[in-house]
Amino acid sequence: MTGDARILAAFAHSNGYLLVKAPENCAESDVSVLEQVAALMVAHGSFGQEVYDALADGGVDQQEMMRVNAAGRALMEAVAGVARRLSGMADQ
């Protein structure tokens, strides 16, 4: 195995799925949640920037839509990552 998940991500995305990486270990902590929230904030900013850039010229083309969609998937995956980390901390 190469550890390169790009083909897996492309397959998941082309079939309407999000790809969310499993945690490295089962011990979730406040720091791991904070790291995921920071990643979520970065993804949110990237999504907003792509939307802004797409609208900047007064129209939206297919290339811009591809970038917006990719940033949107990354944002949704970041949300799922935060939820997964919090779920790992939840009282059972």
The b-or-e profile of 29-40 (16+ CB within 10 A means b, else e) is: eeebbeebeeeb
Each residue's pLDDT tens digit in the chain (92 positions)? Answer: 788 888 888 888 788 887 777 666 556 678 888 888 999 999 999 999 999 999 999 999 999 999 999 999 999 999 998 888 888 777 75
Spatial separation of the C-alpha atoms in residues 80 and 21, rounded to whole Å: 10
Q: What is the pTM of this model?
A: 0.74
Q: Which residue has the tokens 């939840």?
A: 90
Spans of all domains in the chain: 26-91
CA distances from 64 to 5, 9, 31, 35, 57 (A): 24, 20, 35, 29, 11
Whose tokens are 């999000």? That residue is 18
